Chains A and B, each alone.
Chain A
Amino acid sequence: MALVVLLLVGLLLTGGAYALFTQTSSAKATTASASDVDAGKKLFAANCATCHGMNAEGTRNGPSLIGVGAAAVDFQVGTGRMPLQANGPQAPEKEPQFDDEQTAQLAAYVASLGPGPAIPEDEYLDASKGDPAAGGGLFRTNCAMCHNVVGAGGALTRGKFAPNLADVSDKHLYEAMQTGPQNMPIFNDANLTPEDKRDVIAYVNEVTENPSPGGFKLGSLGPVAEGLFIWFFGLGAVIAITVWLSSRAK
């Protein structure tokens, strides 16, 4: 009897562990219907094909989108970066041109062209499950050199810049890490696991939502901006008061 129970417990444990592991590793995207793909194809032909080609194969004016995945489309179209308004050093964020449904249709169409990163699951976007301290370590190693240590953004070469992260949604933060939009490098799941990405999101939310105990932050741009401010306004006030002190009364 004892042997049977022991065997049963052992089987249940290994089976349970196996189920647990397969569940976490086979994280797959939301399903898109064939009608979504069709609607996306029409939207694509009307709005994107001029640069990316009728079959998203890319032209001289725009890269191929085969294999960029739904996550890239959701980021680029969802933040208004695409469709591109004008040529420039980089595509700026603007008011999105498509609503959520149209964005999802475009994403479904591009995802159907080749395998690529899917739109992240809600589980990895729940910042309350993330560890902001661990995320801070990852952020300082991988992100802070461009985006500033509290995500305030910063300049790159020749008019390009790393944007401020304060108002970026959790989903778009995740997708940016996953797909590396424009000049940002890609941080795939082997480099930053989905849990790591969630920690980074938790950190960004934590630092960008904290009010500054020291008062005016001057954009959190660091010692150069602060030094410039105190040099002109602080020192300027000192000089003005000194001139007034030593002037004669009329």
Chain B
Amino acid sequence: MTSKEHSGGGSQLEELNGFTNPGLPEHKPRLTDSDPKAQKVAERQVALWFLLSMIGTIWFIVAYFLFPLEESMQSIRLHTAFVGLGAALAMFGIGIGAVLWAKNLMSDHEGIDERHDINGSEEDQAIALEILHQANEESGIGRRPLIRNTLIAALAIAPLPAVLVFRDLGPLPGDSLFHTLWDKGVRLIRDPGGIPSPESERPIRADEVTIGSAYHVLPSGIGDHENTDHPINEKAKAAVLLMRIDPKELNEDPARKDWSHDGIVAYSKICTHVGCPVALYEQQTHHLLCPCHQSTFDVKEHCKVIFGPAKRPLPQLPITVDSEGYLVAQSDFPEPVGPTFWEINHP
């Protein structure tokens, strides 16, 4: 190891900036360098940490048998807590001991290692050039342009298949962002939770939705694998929240008057900000809150945004009642659900 005084290599730059290089701070000896008593204390300190580590290791082994893993959550909790405590002490003790040893007792000599030059010696460079030259001679790549050019062309197009397989990431979305499973006459069913199946369908009658109720709703037929995309994909677009409000409190746009039924309104549950499910419904204020970014929608005012980053009201599902009294959709959503995207106004 070569050790040099710090040379003022950057002095020109530093003068330009109006500063002078202060160099390395003056070397100060440690207390343990001069005081044998402090040295003794430091030595014992290090040994104490190594001793603690040993205790941790032994505690690990003891705790492993003292708190065996059993069926109950409580036993898992005690086992992980105490075994983990032992492992932590074992590792931490060695680490802290080693650091204290290095800081207080090992040699305090300071030095600077200069970097090697990046380029090799002239001798090495000549050897490398000779190897290249020889390879050119033996392969004849310089003499045979046909081989050289076809090789370059082959290498150039070889990555194309890798680009092509990006197609397998999935079909292009097409117009699927503009449509959901909702359609004229589709019944509103309860969201059974999880993956919907045809057996779990429970349609909703209008008289079951009392004032103050909130129903989590999916379109009938969503669990039928044969006619639809995977139910989860359809659910991500078609989820609806159904609420009944005293019709006197609803402030409805005359053009949308017949989209609700006697105070029962249905709105998309997919936030128009980034698509979280908006379902925190306050039945007295009639505010719908999105849990992700606190966008708040006013159900009384066609779910217009009253707070938060969402820029568009939640799309309303026009509903009515069929001859048997069940709630049905009048059509699909009149606009795409979920986050606003570039083409939303140009389908």
A-side residues, CB < 8 A to B, are 137-138, 140-142, 145-146, 154, 156-157, 160, 162, 180, 182-188, 190-191, 210-215, 245, 248-250
Q: Which of these, B191, B194, B214, contacts A185 with CB under 8 Å?
A: B214
A140 and B193 within 8 A (CB): yes
Chain B's closest residue to A213 (CB) is B76
**B77 close to A (CB within 8 Å):** yes
| Given A157-B307, A185-B213, A188-B213, A250 and B284 contact (CB-CB distance below 8 Å) | no
Give the segment of B2-10, B178-186, B250-258, B273-281 that binds chain A. Answer: B273-281
B190 near A183 with CB under 8 A, answer no
Q: Are B76 and A191 in contact (CB under 8 A)?
A: no
15 A-B contacts, Cβ less than 8 Å apart? A142-B216, A145-B277, A156-B289, A157-B287, A157-B294, A180-B283, A182-B284, A183-B285, A184-B283, A185-B281, A191-B208, A191-B213, A215-B80, A215-B81, A249-B30
Alpha-carbon gap, A156 to B286, bound state (A): 12
* Least Cβ–Cβ distance between A224 and chain B, in angstroms: 10
Measured between beta carbons, the chain A residues less than 8 angstroms from B283 are 180, 183-186
B325 at interface, CB cutoff 8 A: no
Q: Is the CB of A214 within 8 A of B193?
A: no
- In the complex the two chains form, what is the Cα distance from A211 to B277 in whole Å? 29
Q: How far is the CA of A245 from the CA of B100 in the complex (A)?
A: 9
Given the complex of chains A and B, what is the CA–CA distance between A191 and B201 in angstroms?
13
Once the chains bind, are A210 and B212 in contact (CB under 8 Å)?
no
Given contacts A180-B283, A182-B284, A191-B208, are A250 and B30 in contact (CB under 8 A)? yes
Do A138 and B193 touch across chains, with their CB atoms under 8 A apart? yes
Task: With A157-B282, A249-B103 as known contacts, state yes or no: A180 contacts B212, CB within 8 Å.
Answer: yes
A188–B287 Cα distance when bound, in Å, is: 20
| B73, B282, B294, most chain A CB atoms within 10 A | B282
Interface flag for B74 (CB, 8 Å) = yes
Residues of B within 8 A of A140 (CB): 193
Contact yes or no, A190 B285, CB < 8 A: no
Q: How far is the CA of A210 from the CA of B30 in the complex (A)?
A: 54
- Given A141-B216, A249-B103, A213 contacting B73 (CB threshold 8 A): yes
Asked if A137 and B192 sit within 8 Å, CB to CB, the answer is: yes
Q: How far is the CB of A215 from chain B (nearest CB, A)?
A: 6
Q: Is B64 on the interface with A (CB-CB < 8 A)?
A: no
Complex contact B210–A211 (CB within 8 A)? no
- Which of B103, B194, B215 interacts with A191 by CB under 8 Å? B215
Residue contact B280 to A156, C-beta cutoff 8 Å = yes
- How distant is A158 from chain B, measured CB to nearest CB, in Å? 8
Q: A210 to nearest B CB, angstroms?
A: 5
Asked if residues B73 and A191 are in contact (CB atoms below 8 Å), the reply is no
Report yes or no: B277 in contact with A212, Cβ–Cβ below 8 A: no
Selected contact of A137 from candidates B77, B194, B280, CB within 8 Å: B194
Q: Quote the shortest CB–CB distance from A146 to chain B (angstroms).
A: 5
B340 contacts partner chain A, Cβ-Cβ < 8 Å = no
Beta-carbon contact of B214 and A137 below 8 Å: no
Find chain B residues with CB under 8 A from A146 CB.
Answer: 280
- Complex contact A183–B77 (CB within 8 A): no
Contacts A137-B194, A213-B77; is A186 near B280 (CB within 8 Å)? no
Residue pair A212, B103 in contact (C-beta under 8 Å): no
Q: Known: A157-B307, A249-B103. Contact between A214 and B80, CB under 8 A? A: yes
Determine the distance from Cα of A191 to Cα of B287 in the docked complex, in whole angstroms: 21
Q: What residues on A are CB-neighbors of B192 within 8 Å?
A: 137, 141
Q: Does B32 contact A (CB under 8 A)?
A: yes
Q: How far is the CB of A222 from chain B (nearest CB, A)?
A: 10
Chain B contacts for A185, CB-based, 8 A: 212-214, 243, 281, 283
Return chain A residues, CB-CB under 8 Å to B208. 188, 190-191
| Contacting residues, chain B, for A160 (C-beta < 8 A) | 282
Q: What chain B residues lie within 8 Å of A245 (beta carbons)?
A: 99
Tell me whether B140 is interfacial, beta carbon within 8 Å: no
Q: How far is the CB of A71 from chain B (nearest CB, A)?
A: 14
